A and B are shown apart, each in its own frame.
Chain A
Amino acid sequence: MSTAPDIATHAPSLPKEHYLNATRGFKSWALTVDHKRIGVMYLVSVLTFFLVGGLLALLVRLELLSPGGMFEQKTYNQLFTMHGVVMTFLFIIPSIPASLGNFFLPLQLGAKDVAFPKLNLLSFYIYVLGALMAIVAMVVGAVDTGWTFYTPYSLTTNTAVVITVLAAFVLGFSSILTGLNFIVTMHKLRPPGMTWFRMPLFLWALYATSVIQILATPVLGITLLLLAAERLFGVGIFDPALGGDPVLFQHFFWFYSHPAVYVMIVPAFGVVSELIATFSRREVFGYKVVALSSVAIAIIGFFVWGHHMFVSGQSEFAGTVFSFLTFFVAIPTAVKIFNWTATLYKGDIQLRTPMIYALIFLLQFTIGGLTGLPLASLGTNVALHDTYYVVAHFHYVMMGGVVFAFVGGLYYWWPKITGRMFNEKLANIGAALMFVGFNATFFTQFLLGFKGMPRRYFDYDPEFHTLHAFSSVGSWILGLGFLVALITLVQSLRKGAIAPANPWGGTTLEWATSSPPPAHNFIDTPTVTAGPYDRSHAPTATAGRAAA
């Protein structure tokens, strides 16, 4: 094949045997070591927790529509805590890496599985255990600390803080083991010809993410253990009444939690690179720069945690250094956006559903990135810190960025995972609702922050009411958008058209095998002879066979 295939021309049919029907029964899933099945189980889990976290968010917005009308202040504080903990630890950290990453890392690499398949299953069960602990602790124990567990409040509140932080501790191990597995896989299981610079950008992003997971997560684990030890045994580490230092907790916490935001966003960068390359029908502009900027972000991201603490009482000198370093995360991030934009130039752009998500990602993430500048700058941060401006910035990056990329990636790879196409019209209606709803909900919050609305407030001064009401109504439109997306996917499973091996005209290796792939991914070990987005070497649509 010398020309890039667009869409398979022959009428597709499902392959006779694939990973979904290779073995049957509950045990074949519960004890599977197939990275694809584990990826699907993660997918179902993270989407479930996204639903839970989303419903909690709707309740938070409902309360803010008419404060005191529905919930008491205590309940409100528990609601935003649960929303934060569920979304951060149960959804967004594992979201892309554990679900799409698990499924597509070996496929894009051209490997049969990850390096340690049993460890991969163990990670999943550790995740399930941690998730159950977190849910039980929060529902029964009514934790009200916010997802950040700041001391000494978290040491004094009369709620189930210990079990919740232990849940986060357990979840951390799942994250560490997955990261470890991914790194070893990329080092050891590359097929002939798959050099580092022939790896798709999604894999580079997963590599950078895994490094952060391995290096940063243990620090969170230790911190949370110290917190538990202090609560259980009265060891004075963070509580000044026992001779501890409460700000030390913030340093430890953000030493993990700042790099953790890159665990969330960097995989999204990877997804967006794939989408833009495929649907622009060309190579990613400046491939090496985009690949290495993920690594640069991962490294610089370790040295900026103090920017969460400019007014915490840390020294002015520390604040200054952290502010200066923070601006240098902006550079590789800006460069990525420029490169994606340049990839569109002289492309042959296909406005399919996943691409629409990628474009929305670009618009929203750019707002998220630029609104980080006033937060990185010391003088303006002092005014904006702990206001709705921060809430809006964070959600533009995490929701407007990561979640939109995740949904775009899910639509992109859905035919490969399930063997079914979906109704693109319906999917696009969902995307439009999500776009309108998201911006109505969160752009309003920038304005609230500017006007002086503090965050984590159960009730507010009357002048903020109009904007709060607008934001709450926006959240309903956003929720409706997700409902339409859910309907699209369910409908696809029930009666979607059979997907060909390469429905979008992708050039990376996962499109060289059938949809859904066979249990061992490729019938012959692929041999790689060109870069990931080289359209003259794109995989053919021959089901079940690897490109030569």
Chain B
Amino acid sequence: MNFINVLSAFFWVLITGLIVYFTWRYSKGNKEVGPAHNTPLEITWTVIPTILVVAIFAWGFKTYMSLSRAPGDAMDIYVTGQKWSWSFEYPQYGVRTTNELVVPVGKPVRLVMHSSDVIHSMWLPAFRNKMDVLPGRTTTVWFEPGEEGTYRFYCTEYCGDSHWNMKGHVKVVSSEAFQAWVEENSKEDTTTPLPELGAKLFQSKACFTCHSTDGTPGIGPSLKGVFGHSVDLADGTSVVADEEYVRESILQPGAKVVKGFAPTMPSFQGQLSERELNGLIEYIKSLK
């Protein structure tokens, strides 16, 4: 990159310098007549840039190949992009996360990605790699977490209303810390009180991206004070928001859509345990 930038800066300074110099030198009246062409000069300034751009191409190609090919020992993580959050699943460990990727330092990671709706793009700026995430296809992108720390990732293919908010973090941790994290997250949480568990899930599953808890409508309806009250639906009927309605809305969001909102919510079928569902119901109950 620096090579191209330095080269570009050199040519810009050269061309600008000549333009400014000629303009200054020849704007005070000049009776000499400049040449109409000069074949050796023209061949030179055609051939030299040609050689340079082929060199840039070759270098870019080499980098691209290493960006495209993950090493054989890479850890695979499955990724689902959906409007407007990222879900990750660690196949060896049975762990799922949303908008947060935790990986051990020094171990290459390969993301195996697909989209459940429109095209998204996984961009990891700190690791200089990016790949579109498509519905109906699998694409991959890999990176090597060299140093511990927190790095951002973004969606970089425009995907609608909250495109800008479809982002998260890669946490690169020591391998011991990673093992501990896996331990903690792979077993079912049976101790946290239900409303607290629900509040945690509301964050980690990125429900907050579309549903506010303070009454302001977002992509989806706000959940403040909904529970126990009647809700007007898009089909003109209405329903009382009880436990069964909340549960159905999480697992089959298209079944009863609230009036004034588009049916864009993805289904969370298979992604939540019974206890976690109850946690969310309890949490939503608590939003008065």
A residues with CB within 8 A of B: 73-74, 77, 144-146, 150-153, 156-158, 240-241, 245-247, 280, 282-283, 285-287, 289, 310-313, 316, 319-320, 323-324, 327-328, 330-331, 334-335, 337-339, 341-351, 359, 362-363, 366-367, 370-371, 373-374, 376-383, 385-387, 452, 454-461
User: Would B156 and A330 count as touching, CB distance under 8 A?
Assistant: no
CA of A331 to CA of B56, assembled, Å: 13
Query: When the two chains form their complex, are residues A313 and B134 in contact, meaning their CB atoms are under 8 A apart?
Result: yes
Residue B33, interface by CB 8 Å: yes
Supposing A282-B34, A379-B67, A461-B152 touch, asked if A150 and B26 sit within 8 A by C-beta, the answer is: no
Shortest distance in angstroms between A72's beta carbon and chain B's nearest beta carbon? 9
Contacts of A334 in B (CB 8 A): 45, 49
Cβ contacts under 8 Å, A74 to chain B: 161
A383 and B42: CB pair below 8 A? no
Closest chain A CB from B155 CB (angstroms): 8
Is the C-beta of B260 less than 8 angstroms from some C-beta in chain A? no
Q: Is B180 an interface residue (CB 8 A)?
A: no
Report how far A247 CA is from B49 CA in the complex, Å.
33
Q: Are B37 and A373 in contact (CB under 8 A)?
A: no
- Which residues of A lie under 8 Å from residue B23 when comparing CB positions? 344, 349, 351, 359
**A contact residues around B163 at 8 Å (CB):** 77, 456-458
A73-B162, A377-B56, A380-B60 known; A311+B46 contact, CB < 8 A: no
Interface residues of B in 102-161 (CB under 8 A from A): 117-119, 121, 123, 125, 128-132, 134-137, 139, 152, 154-161
| Contact call A377/B57, Cβ cutoff below 8 A | yes
Whether B68 contacts A348 by the Cβ 8 Å rule is: no
Instruction: Choose among B42, B45, B53, B64 the residue that contacts A327 (Cβ–Cβ < 8 A).
Output: B53
Alpha-carbon distance between A379 and B22 when the two chains are bound, in angstroms: 37
Residues of B within 8 A of A324 (CB): 57
Residues of B within 8 A of A151 (CB): 119
> CB < 8 Å: which of B34, B54, B117 contacts A347?
B34
- Asked if B123 contacts A459 (CB within 8 A), the reply is no
Q: List 20 A-B contacts (CB under 8 A).
A: A152-B135, A240-B136, A240-B137, A246-B136, A283-B36, A285-B35, A312-B132, A323-B61, A346-B35, A347-B34, A349-B23, A349-B26, A359-B23, A376-B57, A377-B56, A377-B60, A379-B63, A380-B1, A457-B163, A458-B164
Question: A152 and B118: CB pair below 8 A?
Answer: yes
What residue of chain B has the Cβ atom nearest to residue A72's Cβ?
A: B161
In B43-67, the 8 Å CB interface with A consists of 45-46, 49-50, 53-54, 56-57, 59-65, 67
Residue B4 at the chain A interface, CB threshold 8 Å? yes
Given contacts A145-B158, A345-B26, A359-B23, 14 further A-B contacts (CB under 8 A): A74-B161, A240-B137, A286-B37, A345-B22, A346-B26, A348-B29, A349-B30, A366-B15, A371-B8, A377-B60, A380-B1, A387-B156, A454-B154, A455-B156
A334-B45, A456-B158 as given contacts; A153 in contact with B118, CB under 8 Å: yes
Query: B191 contacts the other chain (Cβ, under 8 Å)?
Result: no
Chain A residues with Cβ below 8 Å from B60 are 323, 376-381
Asked if B118 and A379 make an inter-chain contact with CB atoms under 8 angstroms apart, the answer reads: no
Residue of A150, A377, A452 near B119 (CB, 8 A) is: A150
Question: Cβ of A457 and Cβ of B19 under 8 Å apart?
Answer: no
Q: Which of A73, A351, A367 contacts B27 (CB 8 A)?
A: A351
Q: Which residue of A lies closest to B120 (CB)?
A: A153
Query: Which single residue of chain B is at the shortest CB-CB distance from A379?
Result: B63
Q: When the two chains form their complex, are residues A377 and B4 in contact, meaning their CB atoms are under 8 A apart?
A: yes
Residue B11 lies at the interface, judged by CB distance under 8 Å to chain A: yes
Count residues of chain B with CB under 8 A from any CB of chain A: 74
Answer whether A373 and B8 are a contact pair too, CB < 8 Å, given A331-B53, A348-B30.
yes
Q: Are A382 and B158 touching (Cβ within 8 A)?
A: no
B31 at the interface (CB under 8 A from A): yes
Q: What is the predominant secondary structure among interface residues of chain A facing chain B?
A: helix
Contact present for A344 and B162 (CB under 8 Å): no
Chain A residues with CB under 8 A of B119: 150-153, 246
Which B residues are closer than 8 A to A by beta carbons? 1, 4-5, 7-8, 11-12, 15-16, 18-19, 22-23, 26-27, 29-38, 41-42, 45-46, 49-50, 53-54, 56-57, 59-65, 67-68, 117-119, 121, 123, 125, 128-132, 134-137, 139, 152, 154-165, 262
Closest-by-CB residue of B relative to A280 is B26
Closest Cβ–Cβ distance, residue B146 to chain A (whole Å): 16
Contact A379 B61 (CB under 8 A): yes
Cβ-defined contact, B130 with A335, below 8 A? no
Determine if A373 and B19 form an interchain contact, defined as CB atoms under 8 angstroms apart. no
Given contact pairs A335-B46, A346-B30, A382 touches B67 in the complex (Cβ within 8 A): yes
How many angstroms between the C-alpha atoms of A140 and B162 in the bound complex? 22
Q: Which 9 pairs between the two chains have the least Cβ-Cβ distance?
A: A379-B63, A240-B136, A377-B60, A346-B34, A378-B64, A344-B22, A370-B8, A452-B125, A386-B156
How many Å lie between the Cα of A169 and that of B29 in the bound state?
Answer: 51
What CA separation (Å) do A373 and B8 show in the bound complex? 8
In the complex, what's the smallest C-beta–C-beta distance from B288 to chain A, in angstroms? 26
A77 x B161 contact (CB < 8 A) = yes
**Chain B positions within 8 Å of A282 at CB level:** 33-34
On whether the beta carbons of A373 and B22 are closer than 8 Å, the reply is no
Expressed in whole angstroms, the minimum distance between the Cβ of A368 and any Cβ of chain B is: 11
The answer to whether B135 touches A246, judged by C-beta atoms less than 8 angstroms apart, is yes
Q: Could you say which of A73, A347, A362 contacts B164, with CB atoms under 8 Å apart?
A: A73
Q: Report the nearest A residue to B128, measured CB to CB.
A: A383
| A contact residues around B19 at 8 Å (CB) | 341, 344, 359, 362-363
Specify which chain A residues have a CB less than 8 angstroms from the CB of B7 in the assembled complex.
373
CA distance A350 to B189 in the complex (A): 79
Contact A73 B161 (CB under 8 A): yes
Distance in angstroms between the alpha carbons of A331 and B42 in the assembled complex: 12
Taking a contact as CB atoms under 8 Å apart, the answer to whether A156 and B118 are in contact is yes
Distance, CA A363 to CA B164, complexed state (A): 34
Q: Point out the residues of chain A lying under 8 angstroms from B49, CB to CB.
A: 330-331, 334-335
Q: Which residues of A contact B139 (CB under 8 A)?
A: 313
Taking the closest CB of chain B, its distance from the CB of A439, in whole angstroms, is 13
**A341–B18 CB distance below 8 A:** yes
| CB of A95 to closest CB in B, whole Å | 25
Closest residue of chain B to A74 (Cβ to Cβ) is B161
Chain B minimum-CB-distance residue to A356: B23
In-complex Cβ contact of A313 among B125, B137, B164, B165 (8 A): B137
Beta-carbon contact of B4 and A373 below 8 Å: yes
Q: Please give, as numbers and ranges, the residues of chain B lying within 8 Å of A245 by CB-CB distance.
A: 136
Distance to closest chain B CB from A314 (angstroms): 9
CB contacts (< 8 Å) of A77 on chain B: these are 158, 160-161, 163
Q: Which B residues lie within 8 Å of A458 (CB)?
A: 163-164
For B159, what are the chain A residues with a Cβ–Cβ distance below 8 Å? Answer: 153
What separation, in Å, do the CA atoms of A478 and B132 have in the docked complex?
A: 35
By a CB distance below 8 angstroms, the chain A residues around B11 are 366, 370
A285 neighbours in B (Cβ, 8 Å): 34-38
Asked if A335 and B68 make an inter-chain contact with CB atoms under 8 angstroms apart, the answer reads no
A316 touches B158 (CB 8 A): no
Asked if B160 contacts A454 (CB within 8 A), the reply is no
Within the complex, the shortest CB–CB distance from B134 to chain A, in Å, comes to: 5
Q: Closest Cβ of chain A: how far from B18's Cβ, in Å?
A: 5
- Once bound together, how far apart are the Cα atoms of A153 and B162, in whole Å? 13
A344 to B57, CA, bound (A): 32
**Is the beta-carbon distance between B64 and A373 smaller than 8 angstroms?**
no
In the bound complex, do residue B22 and residue A316 qualify as a contact, i.e. CB atoms below 8 Å apart? no
B134 touches A246 (CB 8 A): yes
CB distance from A394 to the nearest CB of B (A): 15
| Interface pair B26/A344, CB less than 8 Å apart | yes
